[in-house]
Amino acid sequence: MEKVQQLNIGLIGAGVVGRGVVRNLARNTDLIAERLGVRLNLKWVCDKDKSRLKNLPVPASVLVRDAKVVLDDPNVPVIVELLGGTSFARTVLLDALNRGKVVVTANKALLAHHGEEIFAAAARNSANVFYEASVCGGIPIIKALREGFVANRFPLIYGIVNGTCNYILSRMTAEGKDFDEVLAEAQKLGYAEADPSLDVDGGDSAHKATILASLAHGFWTGLENTYVEGIRHVTKYDIEIASELGYAVKLLAIIKTADASDSAPIEVRVHPTLIPRDHVLASVGGAFNGVVVRGDVVGETMFYGRGAGADATSSAVIADLADAALNLKCGSVQRVPAFVAHRLNARVRTIDDVESRYYLRLTVEDWPGVIAKVAKVLGDADISIASVLQREAPESKPGHPPSDHVPLIFMLHVAKDRAVRDAVAEIDRLPVVKDKTIIIRVENFD
């Protein structure tokens, strides 16, 4: 029987995910060793916050508060960085790579902001970075793109990559509640942070979209080139009307090319999207994630599961540790490189040039001729109208006079984003329009 080797690991950052890694490694350490022929040994667990180091299933002798102790240990070839943030975490990660250590990280913000520098450091030092846990928690989407679909180009990747937003939109849909009410409940239940901006304004999804786009297309697309729009402006009324029209509203990350050639520009965008109610992603509810990958060889595949949480994310971290252990065991640290830059002349298409269909909700005075005025602006911009839906004025609040403003919904055919936004800006200047028009893009992914 093959002798089981031991791999020493230094874990830096004992927050929710870090504690999950420690707990789940302790629980399944024998099982993992049987499967790998390598025992994953936590030699160090580090956090500057002493309270986070309490009640962990490891000997007290492995607990330290100074990351330098972990990094300086020549007998620790693998560092797990679970600090969060982009400052000290970047210092730790680059320090580890410059020493030739392997790094496992769940830090999506760090990779989105500094991925190009980090992957270059890994290549320069013949080290490696594993980052499965940075996108969609326990869903193995990184490994699939990097290894399972190596024979494919990717004309389309799209999905729900933020559980908080999906929970909020799912509750709004199921219960007819307003955004603010559901957000407050999500915060009480721990599904949303006290400051929810990173989630509800789309930043978290943009980090993940940037990582996926860069990995799938072989060049660093850049966070600054990812178009981002959150869900604060989506109302229960929009969700209700969308449902009447046969759609569900989801916050999607969309990575798309016009064709499968290496010269085609890439779209990387995050925004609320109307998708057909019978689409598989429309049924992804609560805090779950779902990602669809279309490969030019494999066709369409879907990944579904928990996108966050201590257990789901720690499962991905431990899977990366297993890959690192097998690489080191076989003497091939960079068997699968962290990132391969193979498209040197590629570019990202700006949102101005993106083409989509659109849902517009206007608030207008209830006068004859209003539809004609709006239609003229759209027609002058060569934007084709698919359908128009007019509703009675919504019920006014108690003690207020009846409203003479009514919602007016336009569904548009395919048009360029810039043309639609310019037309809407002109529409909003019409005297009959009484509030800012809501724009939601529409996709069916045919």
3-state secondary structure of 291: strand
Dig out the tokens for 246 from the structure.
């046969």
Select from 382, 378, 408 the least CA-distant residue to 393.
Answer: 408
- Between helix 179-189 and helix 163-175 the angle, nearest 10°, is 130
Q: Which residues of 125-152 are buried (b: 16+ CB within 10 A; e: fewer)?
A: bebbbbbbbbbbbbbbbbbbbbeebeeb
Q: Which residues of 45-69 are buried (b: 16+ CB within 10 A; e: fewer)?
A: bbbeeeebbeebebeeebbbeebee
Please name the residue ranges forming H helices in 285-408.
310-329, 370-380
* Cα–Cα distance, 179 to 171 (Å, whole number): 9
* Cα–Cα distance, 234 to 315 (Å, whole number): 33
3-state secondary structure of 41: strand
Q: Alpha-carbon torsion 167, 172, 174, 175, what sign? A: positive
> Which positions are catalytic?
208
Query: From residue 283, how far is each of 43, 121, 405 by CA, in Å?
Result: 43, 41, 34
Q: Position 365: which residue type?
A: E
In Å, the largest CA–CA distance within the chain is 86
Interstrand relation of 102-105 and 78-81 (parallel, antiparallel or unpaired): parallel
Tally the residues of the chain.
Answer: 446
Are the CB atoms for 72 and 101 separated by under 8 Å?
Answer: no
* Cα–Cα distance, 222 to 202 (Å, whole number): 16
Q: Report how far Cα 47 is from the mean position of its chain's Cα atoms.
A: 27
Q: Report how far Cα 162 is from the mean position of its chain's Cα atoms.
A: 5
Dig out the tokens for 20 from the structure.
């999950």
